[in-house]
Amino acid sequence: MAHGGGGRLMQQLIEEIFVKAFRNPLLEQRHDGAVFDVGGVRLAFTTDSYVVRPLFFPGGDIGTLAVNGTVNDLSMCGAKPRWLSAAFIIEEGLPIDTLRQVAASMQRAAAEADVQLVTGDTKVVDKGKGDGVFITTAGVGVISQRRTVAPSEVRPGDAVLVSGDLGRHGMAIMSVREGLKFETTIESDCANLGPMVQDLLDAGLKIHCLRDLTRGGLAAGLNEIAQASNLQIHVEESSVPVGEEVRGACEILGLDPLYVANEGRMVAFLPADETNRALDLIRAHSHGAQARRIGTVLDELPGKVTLRSSIGATRFLDLLSGEQLPRIC
């Protein structure tokens, strides 16, 4: 189970088996999607399976996630998302109405993101061999700007921005699962990051790398980029935006918000002197209101993420070896 949570065990599993078996330069980009050229057109291609439990949660459902997640992965490659596929693995006995609701959510999310669901598949498995419905989406997007947006482009001195407050998605799911009640319901941050990314690119900002923060939260996203770029990422804990309800829920459940999943948050790496312009553009979006600069890229400890806590001590922000929140997406 620990292999699925976005922590170190899963990374090792993927490394060891899939990256080794399928070895090729595109896979080794270690990006949210593969980027390749065909007849002079630059495309991004990505896939994700969604196994979230429960299927419906405050702020979204598995259908919203399945569309926004894949759309966001394409946006993180600097692509405009265009076409989506959707494959459903349905457990026998799932109410048809549930499926209908999920399909409606997907269509709404697709319309909002201006993408088309163009091809699909349905499989049914026997009761007890699935869990309601699993959805796998794949997406194709078109990269029209010249800039390469990838971990390999990150440079020492880059500012690290986060597009909003962290941990809402994970805590929305956990609150439902654990039956926790707070004064205000924590809603998932599940959202399409495409328009925000488009604004940054259109403004001509020198975006070096983008990464949406999903499983494993900020810690997983930053560690992946630190490793892929072979640079150090240094974070000021006091700058990391976390809402009061999320902080409270994390304390009750003994979780660290920096490791909690998001579904509508990203980090952006760009030259430090472009920080303010970028933050202004991000904050113009409703889900970007809490955007902050949280850190800086250094080259002293290659592949490592360091965190200076609010009391001034600096430690490694490592990947978790095990599972914090299973089946969060």
Residue 176's SS3 state is helix
| In the complex, minimum distance from the CB of residue 308 to its own copies, in angstroms, rounded to a whole number | 33
Walk across the sheet containing 80-91 and list its strands: 34-38, 41-50, 133-143, 80-91, 116-125
| Cα distances (Å, whole numbers) of residue 65 to 84, 90, 111 | 13, 17, 14
Cβ proximity to its own copies: between 100 and 315 the closer is 100
Pick from 62, 79, 109, 110 the residue near its own copies by CB under 8 A. 110
Strands (E) located in the chain = 34-38, 41-50, 56-57, 60-61, 80-91, 116-125, 133-143, 158-162, 209-212, 232-236, 266-271, 292-298, 305-308, 314-316
Q: How far does Cα 134 stand from its chain's mean position?
A: 18
| In the complex, minimum distance from the CB of residue 247 to its own copies, in angstroms, rounded to a whole number | 28
Interface stretch with its own copies, choices 113-121, 146-154, 179-187, 244-252 (CB under 8 A):
113-121
Cβ proximity to its own copies: between 40 and 312 the closer is 40
How far does the chain reach from its first CA to its final CA, in angstroms? Answer: 14
> Quick one: which of 198, 228, 211 has its CA closest to 161?
211
241 neighbors 292 (Cβ within 8 angstroms): yes
Structure tokens, 147: 């800039």
Q: Which of positions 17-36 make contact with its own copies (CB under 8 A)?
A: 17-18, 20-22, 24, 26-27, 33-34, 36
Decide if residue 104 touches its own copies (CB under 8 A). Answer: yes
Cα–Cα distance measured from residue 296 to residue 175, given in angstroms and rounded to the nearest whole number: 33
| In the complex, minimum distance from the CB of residue 208 to its own copies, in angstroms, rounded to a whole number | 21
Decide if residue 95 touches its own copies (CB under 8 A). Answer: no
Nearest-10 crossing angle of helices 96-112, 62-76: 30
Q: How far does Cα 271 stand from its chain's mean position?
A: 22
Pick from 54, 114, 118, 284 the residue near its own copies by CB under 8 A. 118
Cβ proximity to its own copies: between 79 and 255 the closer is 79
| In the complex, minimum distance from the CB of residue 80 to its own copies, in angstroms, rounded to a whole number | 11
| In the complex, minimum distance from the CB of residue 110 to its own copies, in angstroms, rounded to a whole number | 7
Decide if residue 138 touches its own copies (CB under 8 A). Answer: yes
* Element (DSSP H or E) covering residue 235: strand 232-236
Pick from 62, 76, 106, 267 the residue near its own copies by CB under 8 A. 106
Q: Which of positions 150-189 make contact with its own copies (CB under 8 A)?
A: none
**Alpha helices for 47-95 (secondary structure H):** 62-76
> Quick one: which of 112, 111, 134 has its CA closest to 121?
134
119 neighbors 87 (Cβ within 8 angstroms): no
Decide if residue 252 touches its own copies (CB under 8 A). Answer: no
| In the complex, minimum distance from the CB of residue 30 to its own copies, in angstroms, rounded to a whole number | 10
Q: Is the dihedral of CA 108, 76, 190, 119 positive or negative?
A: positive
What x-and-dash track marks residues 53-92 binding its own copies by CB under 8 A?
Answer: -----------------------------xx-xxxxxx-x
| In the complex, minimum distance from the CB of residue 22 to its own copies, in angstroms, rounded to a whole number | 4
Pick from 55, 71, 133, 140 the residue near its own copies by CB under 8 A. 140
| In the complex, minimum distance from the CB of residue 63 to its own copies, in angstroms, rounded to a whole number | 9
**Alpha helices for 77-119 (secondary structure H):** 96-112
Decide if residue 46 touches its own copies (CB under 8 A). Answer: yes
Structure tokens, 327: 């089946």
- Residue numbers at the binding site for its own copies (CB under 8 A): 1, 3-5, 10, 13-14, 17-18, 20-22, 24, 26-27, 33-34, 36, 38-41, 43, 45-51, 82-83, 85-90, 92, 96, 99-100, 103-104, 106-107, 110, 116-126, 128-131, 134, 136, 138, 140, 142, 326-327
